[in-house]
Structure 1
Amino acid sequence: MKKTIIYTRVSTQKESQSTSLKRQKEELLSYALENELKVIKTVEEKESGFNESRPGIIEVLDLIKKRKVEILLVQDSSRLGRGNAKMAIIHQVEKMGAEIHTLADKGAIALNDLEKMILEILSVVENYQQELRNQNISRAMKNKIAEGKFNPSDNLKNIDQGGRDRKEIPLKEIIRLRKLDLTFKDIAATLRGLGYDVSKSTVHRRYQEYQKNNEIVL
């Protein structure tokens, strides 16, 4: 059974809208039961759909980001939001690997051609911005090295465990770049730009070792 979160929304604080919230919840719970979905939480919200920073939807996105939810279940796509807010939320959910199901579509959300095109554009722009950010970080680090303000060797953490030599990579830079939300792939690319012959898997492994040694839980 896929872990599912139910999200219901009305646009005003009027007492009369409470009936709509109750109806949405009942219908969605019934749908989840019929389709063998495991509902772990129900989030109700009385907020405008044009506001993409609603506390309820942020809670939903946070659970999806933490991999605690596989399916976001709503009555119809308008419950997610209106206009740009709706598209931004759909983009975030899909980017984090979750599915959106609606009662209206009786399954996965059905997008029209325009909505699909908007999502493609958002993805392209986001990837381009990430690439620019990586290049800026790499350029800044190279400038600091050239100016003598930064020495990567000062940040090396090498543990002699026998066998073949461990690659020398700047662990502190890996940690710093992770805090900037760079992926392990992006971090590896940045380090290679600085002359380190390192793969994504090596960066990931060193970061996991760091977490274990420092008892850090993401």
Structure 2
Amino acid sequence: MKKALIYLRVSDIMQEEKDSLSNQEKQAIEYCSFKKYKVYKIIKEVASGRSSDRDGFVELQNEISENNFDVLIFYELSRLARSCVTIHNLVHSMRVKEISFESITESYLNSDAPTSKIMLGMIASLAETESDIISKRVKTRMKFLTSQGYYPFKAPFGYRNVNNILEIVEEEAEVIKEFFQDFIDGYSIAQLRRKYNVSHPGVWRRLTNVAYNGKTKFGFEGKNHNTGKWERNKEGEVFEGKHEAIISDDVFNLAQRRLETFKHSRRSKGTSILSGLINHCDKWKMYIKVQARKTEPFYYKYYSCPVCGKSIGADKIESIILEEVKDYILNLKFLDTRIENKKNSKSIKEIIKKLEDKKKRIIDSYIDGLIDRDTQKERVSEINKELEALVSKEEIEVTTQINKTFKEEVIAIIEDIENLDIKKQQAVLGLVIEKIDISDTEDIKIYYKI
């Protein structure tokens, strides 16, 4: 008698389906009785079919790898999984272990059916498409509810969720108020974590949760169904909520500004526009640092020398450098004068081609035995020297062909350099500046690449 493992699942999205678990189980047991299969195990779970790391499905995979049963029984393919890749991988693992599978409602999918392989791919694709449609429909519904001020998610600490509207839990709300006040008064993330027994990410989530400010949000984060990873999205939206705020606008905004301190302090030196360019104390590089404050502004950014400890305010020195670079570029005369004659470039290319042909003829002469090895090497060496000189000259001519359009683009970028984001400012300064020697804000020497 064959041992059968029954796998049953309902979705955690469509809550009304939960009652169908008992119906599925009843039909599965009757099916095994009719087929004269011995029920080895029944795995039941309430989870989304899009996930492959759900507990019941992992348990099923372990049973397959250990080859503990002979045939897998499921109600329909979409109950097994809603991903083509997941289904095909599972079927492959069963075939390796010589485990068959049977669907109670889709007999044409059974492993012994002639149409099994063809229909399996088709039904799996339909199940995945249906899942995508359901997921999109649910997200659209949740976004609509959120935009109307409802909160169709698990309530954060400080609230309870009643019919998708948050209601304040007074005892917890007092903790949240104290939490925000401590942060504004100067507590660090680590101090908050220890005092309130909250994880490091949990501290950030509390301080940035707009629900405490009486708002709702949607689309800032979610699970990527292709990679299975939780991802953040900058294109989310914030709406006015129907619930009462625990934290006032002033306190919440003050907390967000202070959070910028910690964001800056965790960034690498690459986030400052002059890091790696400023030299101090005999070519030692000065690096950006951030000092936290308890009052506004909540941080002071400066460049510091690792040798002598000399520090210079970042805002002041960056403003000076940007202005000087702007004046230097806009006054460069070579932008108007370095337009080369294309005929010269063409003549050089012709000479290079002739020398290459000549080198080929010398090599052919050696192969044909007309000249000896030493003569061939000597003549080829002379031609290579001529080629190197001509190629260098050709590269110089090509790189100096700066036209009017390029000039206009450079001027447009430089004139607006103060308004560019940090990465673009870094790119422009990196192309223009070789290094900056500095002793203080009154003694600055910039070495340009052009």
Q: What TM-score do you get using the length of structure 1 for normalisation?
A: 0.48
- Asked which structure has the greater RCO (Cα within 8 Å, sep 6+), the reply is 1
TM-score norm. by structure 2 comes to 0.24
